[in-house]
Structure 1
Amino acid sequence: MSVVVITGGSRGIGAATAIECAARGMGVILTYHSDSGAAGHVVETITGAGGTAVARQLDVAEVSAFPAFRESVEQVLREMWDRADFEYLVNNAGYGMYHPFANVTEAEFDGLFGVHLKGPFFLTQTLLPLMADGGHIVNMVSATSRVATAGVAPYASFKGGLQVLTRYLAKELGGRRIRANSIAPGAIRTELGGGLNEEFEALLAAETALGRVGEPRDVAGVVASLLSDSGGWINAQSIEVAGGYNI
């Protein structure tokens, strides 16, 4: 059984991805920041359908906590799957903030940087010794890196940085046959940034060729397919999953 580590797996795209990966036969280690109840619900959904999953707390912005998290992953791998490595890492954890550029504070900038770029960089580095050769890293980026959207300048900038990092991971880890790709969702119905009200959703739907905003499962299916053998020759790419947003 292949095993996937998914950060931010207690809600939204992360939760949908965890459930979809488990449905395709993968063991799941998901992380949550503070909502253990939501994480537990995802685990129960997976195990209730016959899959295997476990949740562990992790603040992706707290790099000093990563060595202890790696030890926790090692323990889970031994106890649940009797193995010492895992195949897949999905760097999905994140949060949104809508502020005009002129009003962004240094603390807000640093917070977004820690979760969306610094955290994935060093978490991947920390977990790399546990990744099996031939594995796959998927970084969740954003269509806002392509389409300039007022109010999300720091968020989009760090997602753009993560997109670039993805190509470098593919380049430097190719000797171990570890692939790295990024997924760029468009407007998705999640709690990110406070969620969507009816007016904002209608605006986003009008700017999307398929005429609606996306659901977390729309992205989850693509991630799970990319991790599968059928995606084995896709590497160093950024795939926008947005229904034709702002084209």
Structure 2
Amino acid sequence: MTGSIQRVALITGASRGLGRSSALKLAENGVDVVLTYKDNADAARTTTTEIKALGRQAVALRLDMADTGSFAAFAAQLKSTLAGTWQRDRFDYLVNNAGTGAQVPFAETTEAQFDQLAAVHLKGTFFLTQALLPLIADGGRIVNTSSGLARFSLPGYAAYAAMKGGIEVLTRYMARELAPRGIRVNTIAPGAIETDFGGGLVRDNAQVNAHIADATALGRVGLPDDVGGAVAALLSDDNQWITGQRIEVSGGMML
């Protein structure tokens, strides 16, 4: 990739929350964005409008991360979008962000809940990235999304955290196997963030928010832009020598 080429990022689940923040931060840094959404087309349109207001190109495509059978068609749609909007056949940055939450005690977690989390977070990330490999530029970058919960444990997140632990191992294998193409692969692991994720528990429950702030070295709960900024930094041209790493963005939660 040369400096004259317009960078293009694909961010899954970027109609809201951390994905939206990452998309806007990248746009501020001059990167164009293809974002995916599952159901909320209105939110996706709002995000694309905000990106375009920053002077960047943006396209929203629908994608269900749990439906691996749709990934070949999605890749074909993305290829067409890249040709039509950017007159190119590859993109530069992939951010595997889309996900769902579940707070259920280990003893009460159902097989259906476990399977849903696995389908979206682990299987979806694995096979979507595989399907998109021909479209990722040599020298590009991939950021997978884990969680601070893969390092520390809180009751109710056993299944969710297990998937994120899998993502961290997968990241190292991706980094090793894609290195011959110059593709860097890293994991971003957010701590507790004020979003609508998990029903907005961290954002809307003052007691939970205060408890997390007390357990965080920097003394507050994280904000979406804290994570979006970290993702943009990992994808910047200055990041040439970091791959296969887990970067926790938690403000020092539960050190």
Alignment of 1:1-40 (within 5 A): 1-40=6-45
1:66 and 2:77 are equivalent in the alignment: no
Other-structure match for 2:142: 137
TM-score (structure 1 length as normaliser): 0.99
Aligned partner of 1:208 among 216, 222, 239: 216
Other-structure match for 2:254: 246
Deviation at 1:231, TM superposition (A): 1.1
- In the alignment, residue 248 of structure 2 is paired with which amino acid? E
SS at the partner of 2:233? helix
CA contact (8 A) 1:226 1:232 kept: no
* C-alpha distance in 2 between matches for 1:173 and 1:120: 15
Deviation at 1:95, TM superposition (A): 1.2
* C-alpha distance in 2 between matches for 1:34 and 1:198: 29
Aligned partner of 2:191 among 186, 193, 205: 186
Report the identity percentage: 52
Other-structure match for 1:87: 92
Alignment of 1:106-117 (within 5 A): 106-117=111-122
* C-alpha distance in 2 between matches for 1:215 and 1:52: 25
Instruction: Let me know the Cα RMSD of the aligned residues.
Output: 0.6
* C-alpha distance in 2 between matches for 1:201 and 1:11: 20
Aligned partner of 1:154 among 148, 154, 159: 159
- In the alignment, residue 241 of structure 1 is paired with which amino acid? V
Deviation at 1:71, TM superposition (A): 0.9
* C-alpha distance in 2 between matches for 1:25 and 1:71: 25
- In the alignment, residue 59 of structure 1 is paired with which amino acid? D
* C-alpha distance in 1 between matches for 2:111 and 2:33: 35
Give per-residue Cα distances to partners, 1:162-185, cap 9 Å, x unaligned: 010000000001100111000000
CA contact (8 A) 1:43 1:53 kept: yes
Deviation at 1:132, TM superposition (A): 0.6
- In the alignment, residue 219 of structure 1 is paired with which amino acid? V
Aligned partner of 1:225 among 228, 233, 240: 233
* C-alpha distance in 2 between matches for 1:70 and 1:22: 22
* C-alpha distance in 2 between matches for 1:178 and 1:49: 27
Give per-residue Cα distances to partners, 1:169-226, cap 9 Å, x unaligned: 0000110011100000001011111112111111111100111100110011111111
Deviation at 1:22, TM superposition (A): 1.1
Other-structure match for 1:102: 107
Other-structure match for 1:235: 243
* C-alpha distance in 2 between matches for 1:219 and 1:73: 26
Deviation at 1:48, TM superposition (A): 1.6
TM-score (structure 2 length as normaliser): 0.96
* C-alpha distance in 1 between matches for 2:54 and 2:103: 37
CA contact (8 A) 1:74 1:84 kept: yes
- In the alignment, residue 5 of structure 1 is paired with which amino acid? L
Displaced runs of 4 or more, over 6 A: none
* C-alpha distance in 2 between matches for 1:230 and 1:205: 32
SS at the partner of 1:229? coil
Unaligned 5+ segments in structure 1 are none
* C-alpha distance in 1 between matches for 2:30 and 2:86: 13
* C-alpha distance in 1 between matches for 2:154 and 2:147: 11
Other-structure match for 1:119: 124
